[in-house]
């Protein structure tokens, strides 16, 4: 068996073979092994529930693959809501002819990421489409997380003077993907930053509780979008350009491509809004984790600039930081 065939998704013998000999080999656990039509989960109290689909092209890129993103993306959506990610569902839509060795590589990454994040793959599905109807492989994941009693994470909690922390260097994921997608030939070690962030966020909630006002993972649209989404008629943000962390190589690549790191998607970074009193402690907690070692305080929530995001440039003047429009389009020269 070298390739996925339509029969693998048809529900018969070959489907069972794919599930038993491949998927369960990688994902097996007492809940999934039941192979019932629905998983039965124990929950107590409030849960957080989210879903996301992954269609990235190319499916393999420096530092990761579509499977990494599918686990980390859903784990992080739960994590930044203050929840403890617990269960995850995985649905594959695969193009006929997809190489089994590539599928195994994806399953292996997903198993590793799920184990790192401490989530159980509780249920799933596999469909196979004829050639050309899917671009290699699409993955949908949904996740359930338990909400601790002291978690109250929402943009509406943000008050004047609250502090903004970015958990690390911005832009690496987008640059890695663009470099792989367009064969840009940028010779660098820039890799995706894809990572589960729940260990950091859980510790933030456990230690600082309601002082953690809001959190967002900095994915599509980048920091510029996330900040603009969190503004309200009462509150805005002032951010210092010089404080926003990025690696030298990602910043250089972005300049070369005529793109803005603040508009780029990341897969292992989040923005934390914390009360001023607990900001230093929050920064310490984030920096202690390997996925947060480059974290920095980048600015403040301010009622003076309500409804807006203002960026203090390196030269000193303030300018608007608006959400990007649609697809990031590189400039001519």
Partner 1 sequence: MKTKKPLKIMEVCGTHTHAIAKSGLKDFFDGEIDFISGPGCPVCVSAQSDIDKMISLALMPNITIMTFGDMMRVPGSKISLQGAAQSGADVKIVYSPLDAVIFALQNPKKQVVFLAVGFETTAPLIAAAILKAKELKLKNFFIYSCLKTITPAIKTILDEKNDIDGFLLPGNVSVITGWQAFDFISKKYKKPAVAAGFSPKEIIEAAKMLLATKTPKTQNVYRWASPKGNKEAQKAIKKVFSIGDGVWRGLGKIAGSALVLKSSYKNFDAEKVFKIKKIKETKTKCRCALILKGKLKPSLCPFFAKTCTPTSPLGPCMVSSEGACAAWYNNLK
Three-state secondary-structure class, residue 71: helix
Residues ≥6 apart with Cβ < 8 Å to 112: none
* Closest separation in Å from C-beta 112 to partner 1: 33
The answer to the question of residue 6 lying near partner 1 (CB under 8 A) is no
CB of 182 to partner 1, least distance (A): 6
Residue 86: enclosing H or E segment and its boundaries?
A: strand 84-95
Residue pair 60/53 in contact (Cβ under 8 Å)? The answer is no
CB-wise, 143 or 299, nearer to partner 1? Answer: 299
- CB-CB contact of 68 with 176 (8 Å): no
Q: Does 182 bind partner 1 (CB under 8 A)?
A: yes
Contact range with partner 1 by CB under 8 A, out of 56-64, 131-139, 176-184, 288-296: 176-184
CB-wise, 220 or 312, nearer to partner 1? 312
Which CB sits closer to partner 1, 94 or 262? 262
Least distance in angstroms from the C-beta of 260 to partner 1: 8
Which CB sits closer to partner 1, 115 or 313? Answer: 313
- What distance separates the 2 farthest-apart alpha carbons in the chain? 67
User: Which lies closer to partner 1 via its Cβ, residue 111 or residue 312?
Assistant: 312
Q: Which stretch binds partner 1 (CB under 8 A): 10-18, 133-141, 200-208, 311-319?
A: 311-319
- Look at strands 236-240 and 309-312 and give their pairing: parallel
Q: Is 248 in the site for partner 1 (CB under 8 A)?
A: no
Indicate whether 331 belongs to the interface with partner 1 (CB under 8 A).
yes
Give the strand pairing for 120-129 and 212-217.
unpaired
Residue 132 touching partner 1 (CB under 8 A): no
Which of these segments, 57-65, 72-80, 112-120, 177-185, binds partner 1 (CB under 8 A)? 177-185
Output the smallest distance, CB 155 to partner 1, in A: 23
* Closest residue by Cα to residue 152 from 201, 200, 207, 209: 209
CB of 4 to partner 1, least distance (A): 26
CB–CB of 171/264 below 8 Å? yes
Q: Give the per-residue contact string, 254-283, with partner 1 (x = CB under 8 A; - = no).
A: ---xx-x-----------------------
Task: Decide if residue 135 touches partner 1 (CB under 8 A).
Answer: no
Contact status, residue 85 vs residue 143, Cβ threshold 8 Å:
yes
In angstroms, give the least distance from the CB of 325 to partner 1: 5
In the complex, least distance from residue 192 CB atom to partner 1, rounded to whole angstroms:
20
Token couple for 199: 């260990």
SS3 310: strand
Contact 74, 188 (CB under 8 A): no
CA-to-CA distance for 16 and 329, rounded, in angstroms?
44
Instruction: Tell the smallest beta-carbon distance from residue 193 to partner 1 (Å).
Output: 23
Q: Cα separation of 128 and 120, whole Å?
A: 24
Residues in contact with 268: Cβ distance below 8 Å, sequence separation at least 6, in sequence order:
72, 76, 168, 173, 192, 193, 194, 195, 196, 197, 291
Query: From the list 36, 96, 184, 201, which residue makes contact with partner 1 (rule: CB under 8 A)?
Result: 184
Q: Which residues bind partner 1 (CB under 8 A)?
A: 182-184, 257-258, 260, 313-320, 322, 325-333
């Amino acid at each position: 068996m070298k390739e996925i065939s339509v029969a693998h998704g048809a529900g018969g013998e070959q489907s069972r073979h794919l599930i038993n000999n491949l998927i369960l080999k990688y994902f097996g656990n007492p809940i999934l092994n039941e192979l019932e039509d629905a998983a039965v989960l124990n929950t107590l109290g409030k849960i957080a529930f989210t879903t996301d689909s992954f269609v990235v092209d190319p499916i393999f890129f420096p530092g990761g693959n579509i499977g990494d993103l599918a686990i980390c993306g859903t784990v992080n959506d739960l994590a930044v809501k203050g929840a403890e990610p617990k269960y995850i569902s995985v649905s594959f839509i695969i193009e006929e002819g997809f190489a089994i060795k590539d599928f195994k590589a994806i399953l292996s990454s997903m198993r590793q990421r799920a184990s790192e994040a401490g989530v159980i793959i509780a249920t799933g599905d596999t469909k196979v489409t004829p050639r050309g109807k899917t671009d290699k492989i699409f993955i949908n994941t949904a996740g359930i997380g338990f909400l601790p009693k002291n978690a109250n994470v929402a943009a509406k909690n943000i008050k004047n003077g609250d502090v903004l922390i970015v958990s690390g260097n911005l832009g690496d994921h987008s640059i890695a993907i663009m470099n792989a997608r367009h064969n840009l030939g940028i010779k660098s070690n820039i890799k995706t930053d894809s990572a589960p962030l729940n260990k950091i966020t859980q510790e933030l909630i456990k230690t600082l509780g309601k002082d953690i006002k809001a959190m967002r993972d900095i994915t599509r649209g980048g920091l510029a979008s996330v900040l603009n989404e969190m503004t309200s008629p009462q509150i805005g943000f002032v951010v210092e350009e010089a404080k926003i962390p990025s690696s030298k190589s990602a910043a250089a690549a972005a300049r070369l491509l005529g793109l803005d790191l603040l508009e780029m998607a990341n897969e292992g970074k989040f923005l934390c809004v914390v009360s001023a009193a607990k900001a230093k402690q929050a920064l310490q907690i984030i920096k202690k984790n390997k996925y947060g070692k480059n974290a920095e305080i980048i600015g403040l929530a301010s009622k003076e600039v309500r409804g807006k995001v203002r960026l203090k440039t390196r030269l000193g003047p303030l300018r608007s930081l608006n959400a990007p429009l649609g697809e990031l389009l590189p400039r001519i020269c």
